[in-house]
């Protein structure tokens, strides 16, 4: 059974910025059998806003960003959020990631900012770095 994950926005941006590193490797694995990506409308809108804000410095057009997000949405498992856990984390943008993970029964939030997700263990969710998550995927195979 594939692992259920939520990708924090910083992972998406890091993966789009550079074809080197764990973030890019995880983006390349989207749509595979190793894990199921969970998304919500608020998270996809955040992905879009942040990616468009950084598009020029990443050498991408808005159309490129739209293509990436369209693909992510096409392979992801969509979830609607009916119960807000806010405020739980220090940053409300991180709360929307946590709310999705709880709704989706995801086991992992993959992020570069582990400290931002302190305390989520009480929901049965682990904040994990992209590199550590890749190692976990390899261990599962």
**pLDDT value of position 84:** 64
Quote the pLDDT of residue 92.
77
pLDDT score of 86: 66
Which ranges of the chain would DSSP assign to H, the alpha helix? Answer: 9-17, 22-28, 41-58, 62-75, 92-103, 130-140
Question: Which residues of the chain fall short of a pLDDT of 70?
Answer: 1, 83-86
Give the pLDDT of residue 82.
80
pLDDT of residue 88: 78
For the chain, give every domain's residue range.
3-129
pLDDT at 117: 94
Q: Cβ(10)–Cβ(112) under 8 Å?
A: yes
pTM of the predicted protein model: 0.93
Q: What is the CATH number of domain 3-129?
A: 3.40.50.1010
Say what the pLDDT of residue 2 is: 81
For residues 108 and 58, what is the distance between their CA atoms, to the nearest angstrom?
27
pLDDT in tens, 103-126: 999 999 999 999 999 999 999 999
């Amino acid at each position: 059974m594939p692992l259920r994950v939520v990708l924090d926005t910083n992972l998406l941006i890091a993966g789009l910025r550079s074809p080197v590193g764990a973030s890019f490797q995880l983006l390349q694995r989207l749509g595979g059998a190793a894990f199921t990506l969970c998304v919500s409308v608020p998270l996809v809108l955040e992905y879009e806003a942040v990616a468009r804000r950084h598009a020029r410095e990443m050498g991408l057009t808005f159309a490129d960003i739209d293509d990436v997000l369209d693909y992510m949405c096409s392979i992801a498992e969509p979830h609607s959020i009916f119960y807000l856990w806010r405020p739980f984390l220090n940053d409300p943008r991180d709360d929307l990631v946590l709310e999705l993970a709880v709704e989706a029964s995801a086991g992992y939030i993959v992020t570069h900012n582990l400290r931002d997700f302190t305390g989520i263990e009480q929901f049965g969710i682990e904040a994990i770095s992209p590199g550590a998550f890749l190692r976990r995927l390899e261990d599962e195979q």
